[in-house]
Chains A and B, each alone.
Chain A
Amino acid sequence: MRKPKISSDWMAGCSGCHMSLLDIDERIINIVGLADLRATPITDLKEPDEKGVDVGILEGGINNSANEEVAHRMRKRCGILVALGDCAVFGGVPAMRNFFTLEETLRRAYVETESTDSSGKIPNDPELCVPTKVRAIQDVVPVDIFVPGCPPDADTIYYVLSELAQGRRPELKGDKLQWN
């Protein structure tokens, strides 16, 4: 049987979910044995194969036009899309800014921060991506599997990956969903 191809990417997150993925430690060798790990932010290949992958994993929410592009590209190129972590599933910590207007948050970040000297400036170069409200991935593209957690436990991530690598759909409940 052909090994399923897995690719991942990150957006508006802290990369903590990928760190938690690395926390599966030596078990990653089992995953490599079962699946073909393709493009990820922590490997050399940066974009998922144009021909497509079986499983796409996205960390982080979507908070600008660049993230939208990443999400759409992954959705187009993967069979099963996994939203990994609270930012991807719910919007997470970045979504805290949704309780303010976009203008307020930009002003706070670029003008009003304590470390900004006399005249801060909100960047407006036309080449820059456009910031938006922070959204969960499912608000932009359909998601197949949700793995919440901030970050998800390494054991949960291993369970999800190994199930997907073996062609099964992981089901998160009990201690896979709630850990201490």
Chain B
Amino acid sequence: MVNITIDGKMIEVPEGTTVLQAARKAGIVIPTLCDHPNLIPYGGCRLCLVEIEGARTLQPSCTMPASPNMVVRTDTENVRTARKFVLTLIFSERNHFCPYCQVSGGDCELQNAAYHEGMTNWPLQPNYQTFSMDASHPYFVLDNNRCILCRRCVRACGDLVGNFTLGIEERGARSFLVADLGTPLAQSTCISCGVCVQVCPTGALIDRWSAYRGRETQVEHHKTVCVGCSIGCGMDVLTRDNNLVRIEGDWDAAINGGLLCKVGRFEPMADEQHRLVTPLLRKDGILKAATWQEALDAVDSHLKPGKDGVAALASTRLSAEALYTFHQIFAGKLQSDMVTSIEEGQTTAISASLADETGKPFEAHLDTLDTSDCFMAIGVNLVDNHEVAGFFVKRALPAGAGLIVVDPEPNPLDNLADITIKSKGLDLDILHALSGAVIQLGLAKEKNPAVLDTLAVYTEKTGVPVETYLAAAKSLASAQHPVLIYGKGITSKSPAVLKALVEFGRLTGAGMISVKGSANSLAASQYHLDKVFQLNGHQAAYIALGDDKPTQRLIQRLEKVPFLVVQASYTSQLTSMADVVLPVGLWTEQEGHYVNLDGHLQKAVRSLTPAEEIRSNEEVFNAIAQRLGFEPKNDWKKQLTQRVSPVVLTIN
């Protein structure tokens, strides 16, 4: 611990704490611009200058480590003058006329800093140099004229997201922000995660929906979780008058640490799908608007009990509460033999059966990615799906973490990988070869592993050079914290492939992370909603699609079903085929719980009120249960734990 004195206050802080962090801890306000709590201190803007006894000049508190018996003053005439001078220089450099802007909704950090210093004027007038704007991106706009060159966006893009798209061109006052080597954002390597927009302190990076639309102080915040995929990122949904204003990552969320990808941040804003606003009922061959009473009556009359009565499918974007009630209705009360999720267990079933078999979890938590020094991504695309997990991998690479990609298809991570192993349809052989390589190298973490002469055999079978296997095995087995990340490429195969992967994980001492599928894949799996969907003479099908999108494959398979009920938020080919359509709310319009890929149970809250006739998924299921004459049980939480999960569940 280090004792330092700031403005006469004695403060004890751990070694390595900066003066700025120490001051904040003591409740002393030091204005900052380039500093951001989630970014590595940078010392770029010099607004946080403080006086340190014994130092020749003022020092930036954001990068200055607290040292024993340091005496700091933050509120002297000298410091105040310096702050004003720093702000004067920043204001004079570009177009920082607040009345032209107001895009940051009255929450511009530059404007606030000037207010804080009581600046009534600019001692230096602007030089009126102009910079280009980049409005090519579909989700946000870059205006270099508002940029203060704090490089928060550059650092967020590189250090947090690992994408390294943003950078600075030119020098000094002529510096400006560019994507790649001066490519328009829309054509650049930008992956549209929007973290740069969230960290921008001014109006230089603005999103297309919330900019110029009122003050940020006049919004309601709803801390919730993203249901875009199974990661379960914490987010803050900003609304005003029941309108979505913006979605931001929640910096306090342990799982994502404030990061979001385009699926969570921008796609809900850009959503232009057509909503269902009233129940629909097919009369004389035509779907017509109906009341809930009529629609539910029609559903009711077709819900016949029995194995081949109603085939039922639910989206894994539904809440755990809804999935559990769904299960009780169709598998419990109606005794149907075909009750599953629209993922059909593709991402979870074999992991779940392995856990059932061994009786214990074998997967690691997501945070192991942040301490890992070698990753193997096998049968998983972490750039197009589960993007935030991809960020965790990509941002570890510059520090020297290894990456091995095993995927028969071209994988977007290929060009970042140290080693790629490609061999069509031979995952099992590849894994045997890798295990053989670990043993041959004598690096197996398990004592006395069964000596397998698998390397030579499988090298030949897979057609991958033996050196590749040896190099991959060496880098994984000699890493401190190796992690194997696997996806559908493994989980849609046979249980033997997963077993071989687990075996390889044991030999290398690697943590295992399965990315699974949608927001509630794991919950669906825990409720045994993981069967392959088949229609065997079922008289009706009930598709609880929620705000999910139906696949062509699903639509085709449902073409012949005699009576189709679709519970959905959006119109689609599937709803147009249905006999009854029940309109339900979006994820923002209902609350419920989600179990993410590493077993954390999280609550999603309701941020918006849907239109009058729209109900929540749970309300619809409850109404159906009532008509079937039973009261659904509410022990969904307990039921989640009744099956051994592939990963330790964290259920509070």
- A, B co-complexed: yes
Contact B99–A135 (Cβ < 8 Å): no
CB-CB under 8 A for A99 and B128, given A90-B97, A180-B106: yes
Overall SS of chain B's interface: loop
A133 to B126 Cα, complex, angstroms: 12
Residues of B within 8 A of A21 (CB): none
Task: Out of B121, B126, B128, name the residue touching A146 (CB < 8 Å).
Answer: B121
Is B95's beta carbon under 8 Å from chain A?
Answer: yes
Is B634's beta carbon under 8 Å from chain A?
Answer: no
- Kindly supply a per-residue 1/0 record for chain A positions 75-100, scoring 1 wherever the CB is within 8 Å of any chain B CB and 0 otherwise: 00000000100100111110110110
Residues of B within 8 A of A83 (CB): 121
**Among residues 57 to 86 in chain A, which have CB atoms less than 8 Å away from a CB atom of chain B?**
83, 86
Contact A148–B125 (Cβ < 8 Å): no
**Among residues 74 to 127 in chain B, which have CB atoms less than 8 Å away from a CB atom of chain A?**
95, 97-100, 106, 115, 118, 120-122, 125-126
Task: Out of B98, B100, B217, name the residue touching A96 (CB < 8 Å).
Answer: B100
Contact B121–A148 (Cβ < 8 Å): yes
Contact B121–A139 (Cβ < 8 Å): no
A98 to B121 Cα, complex, angstroms: 18
Binds B, one of A40-48, A161-169, A171-179: A171-179
Residues of B within 8 A of A148 (CB): 120-121
Contact A99–B118 (Cβ < 8 Å): no
- Kindly supply a per-residue 1/0 record for chain A positions 123-153, scoring 1 wherever the CB is within 8 Å of any chain B CB and 0 otherwise: 0000000000101101100010011101000
A143 to B123 Cα, complex, angstroms: 11
Q: Tell me how far the C-beta of A89 lies from the nearest C-beta in chain B, rounded to whole angstroms.
A: 5
Q: Tell me how far the C-beta of B600 lies from the nearest C-beta in chain A, rounded to whole angstroms.
A: 39
Is B576's beta carbon under 8 Å from chain A?
Answer: no
Q: Tell me how far the C-beta of A114 lies from the nearest C-beta in chain B, rounded to whole angstroms.
A: 23
Q: Tell me how far the C-beta of A131 lies from the nearest C-beta in chain B, rounded to whole angstroms.
A: 15
Contact B120–A89 (Cβ < 8 Å): yes
Contact B99–A177 (Cβ < 8 Å): no
Residues of A within 8 A of B215 (CB): 180
Is B291's beta carbon under 8 Å from chain A?
Answer: no
A47 to B560 Cα, complex, angstroms: 90
Residues of B within 8 A of A178 (CB): 115
Is B38's beta carbon under 8 Å from chain A?
Answer: no
Q: Tell me how far the C-beta of B603 lies from the nearest C-beta in chain A, rounded to whole angstroms.
A: 33
A93 to B101 Cα, complex, angstroms: 11
Residues of B within 8 A of A90 (CB): 97, 121-122, 125
Task: Out of A98, A139, A177, name the residue touching B128 (CB < 8 Å).
Answer: A98
Closest to B95 in A: A99
Most A CB within 10 A of own CB, among B97, B121, B125: B121
- In this complex, the interface size class of chain B, counting residues with CB under 8 Å from chain A, is 10 to 19
Residues of B within 8 A of A96 (CB): 97, 100
A147 to B115 Cα, complex, angstroms: 13
A91 to B215 Cα, complex, angstroms: 24
Task: Out of B115, B122, B130, name the residue touching A177 (CB < 8 Å).
Answer: B115
Contact A138–B106 (Cβ < 8 Å): no
Contact B99–A86 (Cβ < 8 Å): yes
Closest to A93 in B: B99
Residues of A within 8 A of B125 (CB): 90-91, 135-136, 138-139
Residues of A within 8 A of B128 (CB): 95, 98-99, 133
Contact A172–B121 (Cβ < 8 Å): no
Residues of A within 8 A of B122 (CB): 89-90, 136
Most B CB within 10 A of own CB, among A99, A135, A172: A99
Closest to A91 in B: B125
Residues of B within 8 A of A135 (CB): 125
Q: Tell me how far the C-beta of A94 lies from the nearest C-beta in chain B, rounded to whole angstroms.
A: 11
A150 to B99 Cα, complex, angstroms: 7
Q: Tell me how far the C-beta of A87 lies from the nearest C-beta in chain B, rounded to whole angstroms.
A: 9
A86 to B100 Cα, complex, angstroms: 11
**Among residues 115 to 166 in chain B, which have CB atoms less than 8 Å away from a CB atom of chain A?**
115, 118, 120-122, 125-126, 128, 130
Q: Tell me how far the C-beta of A30 lies from the nearest C-beta in chain B, rounded to whole angstroms.
A: 24
Task: Out of A93, A138, A147, A180, name the residue touching B100 (CB < 8 Å).
Answer: A93
Q: What are 30 A-to-B residue pairs whose CB atoms are below 8 Å?
A: A83-B121, A86-B97, A86-B98, A86-B99, A89-B122, A90-B121, A90-B122, A90-B125, A91-B97, A93-B97, A93-B99, A95-B97, A95-B126, A95-B128, A96-B97, A96-B100, A98-B126, A99-B128, A99-B130, A136-B121, A138-B125, A143-B121, A146-B120, A148-B120, A148-B121, A150-B98, A172-B118, A173-B118, A177-B118, A178-B115
Given contact pairs A136-B125, A148-B121, enumerate 9 new A-B contacts (beta carbons under 8 Å).
A83-B121, A89-B121, A95-B97, A99-B95, A139-B125, A172-B120, A173-B118, A177-B120, A180-B217
Footprint of A on B, CB under 8 Å?
A: 95, 97-100, 106, 115, 118, 120-122, 125-126, 128, 130, 215, 217
